[in-house]
């Protein structure tokens, strides 16, 4: 055992946040042979669980929970659940909690993101968010009763909840302030055709529809329209859950995310940040990325654990990836298209299966696929390799993407 590993094993690691990023950090530490004490603190009382099934199996009642299949006792990981963390004092190497201070030698911030609420609706009966297991439990009776639901926001979570609600035979009206779904996530030419999926499912999508107020059984729009609503589900985005870091000296960006470096270290010694609550510099894309998706919470912990134990590792610079199951379609995305200069279609978006590619200087930087998993698997590798592709051949959906490399 090298000297750095010996020093690491003698240190106490505290992980704040018991979601995917926090759990995987604890698991990765043990997989790398870390022998020091590991404490995992979670604000919810439930055994740590995975979030994607909340908008699918758990919400529809086909699964009661989505607890991680991790034997924390066997890993000698101390779980402290139902414990709110209120602050951190890096100079003292202590985390403040409702039960008193918790000392650490190494701290990993993995508190994820929290949903943005609709102003003025926090105490209105029948208004729901969908982020936690308790949220899903509160929404299941809504679906069981086949209520008329108004969904505020046509983003990823809005589409997934609408899909589940229609499967449960609820009447659904979706209100979106922008002119199309997924505004900010995808360009108009890609997102606009996806708006047709709502009508196909039997849901009504209202665009240019801003909510002015919500009362018992009613949603009032800014143009005066009133929508009947047995329940209202708000899905208008999420922000990093980092308010508890105020006054700690741990640097955050304008969006509230912890500004980590390419090893996921923060501005304070012995403190790391991983998952939805942290941004990181991407050499691949030439900008700082904040990735609110499951795969980032799965990959980042490996970098954190390797750095803690002193193992050599590459800078953290993954190809972002996520998926969404909505309206009978499997949507996958890999890369980051913000600085692309070319958009290329593979197939017709009016059909059941198609892909769209984004290029910069002929190199593939991102792609989204609908019902074309082979395109995603091949394209993800090409994005990682920075491969330049033949646009004429790539536009033919019959040509394998791997065969389009120049």
Give me the CATH number covering residue 359. 3.30.390.30
pLDDT at 63: 72
Query: Are the C-beta atoms of 316 and 303 separated by less than 8 Å?
Result: yes
pLDDT at 8: 66
Residue 128 lies inside a defined structural domain of this protein: yes
226 in the same domain as 122 = yes
Which tokens belong to 116?
């943005």
Token pair 């500004």 is found at 259
pLDDT at 190: 97
Q: How confident is the model at residue 7 (pLDDT cuts 50, 70, 90)?
A: low
- DSSP-assigned states of every residue in 160-218: HHHHHHHHTT-EEEEE-SSSSTTTTTS-HHHHHHHTHHHHHHT-EEESS--EEEEETTE
361 in the same domain as 229 = no
pLDDT in tens, 341-378: 999 999 999 999 999 999 999 999 999 999 999 999 99
Residue 109 lies inside a defined structural domain of this protein: yes
Closest CA to 285 of 185, 364, 356: 364
pLDDT in tens, 287-317: 999 999 999 999 999 999 999 999 989 999 9
266 in the same domain as 223 = no
pTM recorded for the entire structure: 0.95
Residue 400 lies inside a defined structural domain of this protein: yes
Q: How far apart are CA 201 and CA 159, in angstroms?
A: 11
Q: How far apart are CA 386 and CA 398, in angstroms?
A: 22
DSSP 131: S
Query: Are the C-beta atoms of 240 and 296 separated by less than 8 Å?
Result: no
Residue 79 lies inside a defined structural domain of this protein: yes
Residue 321 lies inside a defined structural domain of this protein: no
Query: Are the C-beta atoms of 188 and 178 separated by less than 8 Å?
Result: no
225 in the same domain as 136 = yes
Return the SS3 of 100.
strand
230 in the same domain as 142 = yes
Residue range(s) defining the domain that contains residue 377: 328-404
pLDDT in tens, 112-132: 999 999 998 888 889 999 999
Element (H, E) at 21: helix 20-31
Residue 319 lies inside a defined structural domain of this protein: no
Lowest mean pLDDT among 13-27, 48-62, 376-390: 48-62
Q: How confident is the model at residue 5 (pLDDT cuts 50, 70, 90)?
A: low
Q: Residue 47 pLDDT more than 70?
A: yes
Q: Residue 4 pLDDT more than 80?
A: no
15 in the same domain as 94 = yes
Percent of the chain with pLDDT over 90: 89
Q: Which residues pair with 322 in a beta bridge?
A: 333
pLDDT at 216: 86
* Total of domains in the chain: 3
CATH code, 126: 3.50.50.60
- End residue of a domain, out of 211, 234, 257: 234
Query: What is the average pLDDT score of the chain?
Result: 94
59 in the same domain as 92 = yes
pLDDT at 86: 97
Q: Residue 218 pLDDT more than 80?
A: yes
Mean pLDDT to the nearest integer, 200-220:
95
- End residue of a domain, out of 215, 234, 253: 234
Closest CA to 170 of 198, 145, 133, 206: 145
106 in the same domain as 253 = yes
């Amino acid at each position: 055992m090298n000297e750095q590993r010996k020093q690491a094993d003698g240190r106490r690691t505290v992980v704040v946040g018991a979601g995917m990023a926090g759990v995987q950090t604890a698991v990765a530490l043990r997989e790398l042979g870390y022998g020091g004490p590991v404490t995992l603190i979670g604000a919810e009382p439930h055994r740590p669980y995975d979030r994607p099934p909340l908008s699918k199996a758990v919400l529809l009642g086909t699964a009661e929970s989505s607890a991680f299949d991790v034997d924390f006792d066997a890993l000698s990981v101390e779980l402290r659940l139902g414990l709110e963390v209120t602050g951190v004092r890096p100079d003292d190497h202590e985390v403040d909690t409702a039960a008193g201070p918790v000392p650490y030698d190494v701290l990993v911030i993995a508190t994820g993101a929290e949903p943005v609420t609709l102003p003025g609706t926090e105490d209105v009966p029948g208004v729901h968010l969908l982020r936690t297991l308790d949220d899903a439990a509160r929404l299941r009776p809504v679906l069981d009763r086949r209520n008329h639901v108004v969904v505020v926001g046509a983003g990823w979570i809005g589409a997934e909840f609408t899909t589940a609600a229609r499967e449960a035979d609820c009447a659904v009206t979706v209100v979106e302030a922008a002119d199309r779904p997924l505004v900010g996530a995808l360009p108009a030419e890609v997102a606009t055709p996806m708006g047709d999926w709502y009508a196909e499912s039997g849901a009504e999508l209202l665009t240019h529809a801003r909510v002015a107020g919500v009362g018992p059984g009613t949603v009032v729009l800014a143009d005066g329209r009133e929508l009947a609503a047995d329940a209202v589900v708000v899905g208008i985005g999420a922000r990093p859950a980092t308010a508890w870091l105020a006054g700690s000296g741990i640097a955050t960006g304008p969006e509230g995310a912890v500004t980590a470096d390419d090893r996921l270290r923060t501005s304070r010694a012995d403190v790391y940040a991983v998952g939805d609550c942290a941004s990181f510099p991407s050499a691949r894309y030439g900008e700082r990325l904040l990735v609110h998706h499951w795969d980032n919470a799965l990959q980042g912990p490996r970098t954190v654990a390797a750095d803690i134990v002193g193992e050599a590792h590459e800078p953290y610079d993954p190809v972002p990836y996520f998926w969404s199951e909505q309206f009978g379609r499997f949507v996958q995305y890999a890369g980051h298209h913000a600085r692309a200069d070319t958009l290329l279609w593979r197939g017709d978006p009016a059909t059941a299966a198609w892909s769209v590619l984004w290029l910069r200087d002929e190199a593939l930087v991102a792609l989204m696929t609908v019902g074309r998993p082979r395109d995603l698997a091949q394209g993800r590798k090409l994005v990682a390799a920075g491969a330049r592709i033949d646009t004429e051949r790539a536009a033919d959906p019959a040509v394998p993407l791997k065969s389009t490399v120049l």
